[in-house]
Amino acid sequence: MAEQGHLLELRDLTKTFGGLTVADRLNLYVDEGEIVSLIGPNGAGKTTVFNLVSGLYQPDSGQILFEGRDVVGLPPHKITQLGIARTFQTLRLFLNMTVKENVMAAAYGHTRSTVVESIFRLPRARREEREISALADEKLAFFGQRLTGYRHNQQAYNLSYANRRRLEIARAMATNPKLLLLDEPAAGMNPAETAELTELIGRLRDEGGYTVFVIEHDMHVVEGISDRVVALDHGVKIAEGSFDTVATNDRVIEAYLGLQGAA
Amino acid sequence: MESGGDIPEVPGRPDERDRPRVGVDEWVASVEERREQRGGFAAIGRRIDAVVPPWARLLIFTAAAATLPLWMDTGDLFVYGIFTLIYILLGLGLNVIVGYAGLLDLGYVALFGFGAYFYAILSSEHFGIHWPSAVSVPIVVLSTAALGLVLGVPSRRLLGDYLAIVTLFFGQAFVVFVNAANPRGLTGGPNGIADIDPNDLLGYELITRRQQYWFILAIVVLILIGLHFLSESRTGRAWRALREDPLAAEAMSMPVNRLKLMAFAFGAGIAGLTGCLFAAVLTAVTSGNFALPILITIYAVVILGGIGSLTGVVIGAVVINVSFQFLAPENPQNNARLLFYGTIVLLLLMAVRPLWRLAVVFGGVLVFGFVAHEVASRIDESWTAGAVVEGGRVAGVVADWVIIPAGHDRFADIAYIALIVLVLTLTRVRGWWRTLLTIPTVYLSAVVWETSFVEQPAVARWILFGALLVFLMTVRPQGLLGTPRVEIV
């Protein structure tokens, strides 16, 4: 049953908070090179799935396989080092650090120099510093003019809302992940910025080589980018497939609009 | 990889000029620039940070500090020079824990004390052990770091206020242990440990104040360099990231718990080293050297300078120690007196507007004083027969101005209570009433000062020192060199 093909696979994943079941024997998978969207009404358990995958929550039962390896029980930083990086719906940047430092900090997991090496600027520390700096420039350059130039040395709290979302993505990219979990990347963006973001997510896969698993409410974005769409409601997977299949699915329409809305 | 040039710019709206450009990237990004253009006191720290590179700042500091012994006498070099350096070191260690990692550690001073006591045990007449510094100091530093690690263990689970309480308990327990427990005479109880060996450089003992000062200065410079490099490394960035948002730091591949313990151990190591130097310079340690007031002073150094800034710690230590020593009881009261009247004049200058109202207050206070003094002495000679505590030129003027009765203990208490009532009333009234009421309030505070505080210089020192801190921190909450911290925008 262990198909090596899936990059990420959730098997019978269950999570309850007291009496509330937020993930109910959930089975889903993401293949390498795919862009998969997770949709569902508010409270459907989408962010919970991300929290479970990134290790912030422990599931009650079930397995989370990443490249065939069960990552349940690993601390979040280990999971990130294995190659799963995420952004936060509520934006959790390091506000009082500069834009570039935000990205450089995320390279912690794949650098090795010790405190002593850093204090004395020994060769490995110097080399890693150069590499991280170049890495940060490269990741920030992915966003075109948005995050380049003079903004590198600005405190993150000076950024506009849209740029904060971009910086969150850049920061996640700096951990050198294989799988990017984007939690509502278009929330709070205006139509022009949303269009730009849709293009960006495509480029993340095509140019960056990342597999993307994205939670999104904006159906234009979902339609524009998704190879596959998974719909959740009350912690249960109610539909899966191409955007058109899921968008016309009765249970999905019912979940979003109620029974009367089917028309 | 420059691949973003093809992304179209966000189109401007036709009505752009008529609206505030809220939420537009350029507008938000310009906030920092406009803030930088702002002049005055607030901009000084930012300018220093931006214009003078770190190595130049270090050079200026080192050059200025190294020449200190050439023109300062030995006693001053001790209290102004060496103590400032000690505070810098303590501030640097605390800055790692609080400034970088954001862990509120109130047991820090105990680590300093542990280092001092441990060094005293290893190198003094107390047990007759006289290990050279090259042996004892590394042992002390490593054991203090290990103790810091232990102290940091609760931080895996506790944050903020909760961590503060647990660590504060540790700090207090240390004082009690040293004072009361004193197992087998280990710590010497309330008498502490005396006859501690001076530090030695490979056998050459540093006995004179000048030698000690330069030795500690060299250590301060080395630690400043090391901390600067560490701050700009993966570890330093990870510490700051964990201060900003531990959860996001954990999700971004940083082992948060290990980093916290590292910060605790690292800061503790510096505290332990400082303890060795402090014990050697003082040649005696008692538990009072490591009690709560010192902790508060170290925190003041770090906060005043601007949390997380190395230059800030240095400046904070200089400001704090110099002003604190300036108010020392050994100094004549005129320092404290000068500061007291100076503060009142400054406060009036800042608070009372416009100018003619200020003139009324100043004139009123002076006239009010002489009239009140005259009236009181006419009624009963003994009411103004009390002697003014000597000190400085101000004392002569004060004698004919402030009412000081012969035996004035009870009078001082009544005046004190009346002052509180007046100040409270002052906050409730507006306009002319306030101006008029300011006159007796200022006068009465002078009376209270001359009848109570001046006679207890040790108390007055702390009160003035506290008032100074409150004042400085109200003016610049982020510290002299700190950038304003933003939690959520």
Sort out which chain A residues have CB atoms less than 8 A from B256's CB and list them: 77
Query: How far does B164 lie from chain A, in Å, by closest CA?
Result: 22
Of residues A144 and A58, more confidence is placed in: A58
pLDDT given at position B17? 45
Query: How far does B219 lie from chain A, in Å, by closest CA?
Result: 14
Query: Residue B40 above 60 pLDDT?
Result: no
Instruction: Take residue A163 and report the two structure tokens written for it.
Output: 């740029």
B247–A144 CB contact, under 8 Å: no
Sort out which chain B residues have CB atoms less than 8 A from A88's CB and list them: 248, 251
Of A107-121, A169-183, B277-291, B451-465, least confident by mean pLDDT is B451-465
Helix (H) or strand (E) holding A231: strand A228-233
Query: How far does B114 lie from chain A, in Å, by closest CA?
Result: 24
Sort out which chain B residues have CB atoms less than 8 A from A54's CB and list them: 251
Of A29-33, A187-191, A213-217, least confident by mean pLDDT is A187-191
Average pLDDT, chain B: 84
pLDDT band at A4 (very low <50, low <70, confident <90, very high): low
Sort out which chain B residues have CB atoms less than 8 A from A142's CB and list them: 1, 3-4
Of residues B391 and B278, more confidence is placed in: B278
Instruction: State the CB neighbour count (10 A cutoff) for residue B25.
Output: 19
pLDDT given at position A179? 96
B240–A97 CB contact, under 8 Å: yes
Of residues B97 and B305, more confidence is placed in: B97
pLDDT given at position A160? 84
Of residues A85 and B184, more confidence is placed in: A85
pLDDT given at position B217? 97
pLDDT digits (tens, 9 = 90+) for B356-386: 888 999 999 999 999 998 898 888 888 877 7
Minimal-distance CA residue of chain A relative to B265: A115
Of residues B409 and B166, more confidence is placed in: B166
B262–A115 CB contact, under 8 Å: yes
Q: How far apart are CA B312 and CA B306, in angstroms?
A: 5
Query: How far does A64 lie from chain B, in Å, by closest CA?
Result: 17
Q: Using a CB–CB cutoff of 8 Å, tell me whether A42 touches chain B.
A: no
pLDDT given at position B211? 93
Q: Residues 260 to 279 of B: which have CB under 8 A from any A CB?
A: 262, 266
Of A123-132, B376-385, B480-489, least confident by mean pLDDT is B480-489
B226–A88 CB contact, under 8 Å: no
SS3 of A100, please? helix
B238–A105 CB contact, under 8 Å: yes
pLDDT digits (tens, 9 = 90+) for B127-148: 989 999 999 999 999 999 999 9
> Could you write out the DSSP letters of every residue in A150-215?
GGGGSBGGGS-HHHHHHHHHHHHHTT--SEEEEESTTTT--HHHHHHHHHHHHHHHHTT--EEEEE
pLDDT band at B226 (very low <50, low <70, confident <90, very high): very high
B234–A121 CB contact, under 8 Å: no
A158–B3 CB contact, under 8 Å: no
Q: Residues 1 to 20 of B: which have CB under 8 A from any A CB?
A: 1-11
- Selected for mutation to probe chain A from B253, B257, B485 (highest A CB count within 10 Å) is B253
Query: Residue A251 above 80 pLDDT?
Result: yes
For the segment B178-202, the average pLDDT, to the nearest whole number, is: 89
Query: Residue B394 above 80 pLDDT?
Result: no
Q: How far apart are CA B335 and CA A61, in angstroms?
A: 71
Average pLDDT, chain A: 90
Closest Cα partner for A105 from B308, B230, B253?
B253
pLDDT band at A260 (very low <50, low <70, confident <90, very high): low
For the segment A4-12, the average pLDDT, to the nearest whole number, is: 88
Q: Using a CB–CB cutoff of 8 Å, tell me whether B34 touches chain A.
A: no
Minimal-distance CA residue of chain A relative to B487: A95
pLDDT digits (tens, 9 = 90+) for A187-210: 888 888 899 999 999 999 999 999
pLDDT given at position B391? 63
pLDDT band at B306 (very low <50, low <70, confident <90, very high): confident
Query: Residue B243 above 80 pLDDT?
Result: yes
**Owner of token pair 């100018």:** B355
A157–B486 CB contact, under 8 Å: yes
Q: Residues 126 to 145 of A: which have CB under 8 A from any B CB?
A: 128-129, 132, 138, 141-145
pLDDT given at position B3? 43
Query: Residue A31 above 90 pLDDT?
Result: yes
What is the amino acid identity at position B110?
A
- Selected for mutation to probe chain B from A79, A80, A96 (highest B CB count within 10 Å) is A96
For the segment B271-289, the average pLDDT, to the nearest whole number, is: 94
A144–B483 CB contact, under 8 Å: no
Beta-ladder partners of A66: A8, A69
Q: Which residue in A128, A158, A160 is closest to B23 by CB distance?
A: A160
pLDDT given at position B16? 44
pLDDT given at position A93? 93
Query: Residue B5 above 50 pLDDT?
Result: no
- Selected for mutation to probe chain B from A71, A93, A108, A114 (highest B CB count within 10 Å) is A108
**Owner of token pair 């019978």:** A12
**Integer CA distances (angstroms), B20 to A192, A203, B16, B17, B489, in order:** 19, 33, 8, 8, 18
Instruction: State the CB neighbour count (10 A cutoff) for residue A149.
Output: 9
For the segment B435-451, the average pLDDT, to the nearest whole number, is: 89
For the segment B110-117, the average pLDDT, to the nearest whole number, is: 96
A118–B10 CB contact, under 8 Å: no
- Selected for mutation to probe chain A from B234, B242, B273 (highest A CB count within 10 Å) is B234
pLDDT band at A244 (very low <50, low <70, confident <90, very high): very high
Q: Using a CB–CB cutoff of 8 Å, tell me whether B238 touches chain A.
A: yes
B483–A120 CB contact, under 8 Å: no
Q: How far apart are CA B326 and CA B320, in angstroms?
A: 10
Sequence-distant (6+) residues with CB within 8 A of A70 are A63, A64
User: Do residues B101 and B259 make contact, with C-beta atoms less than 8 angstroms apart?
Assistant: yes
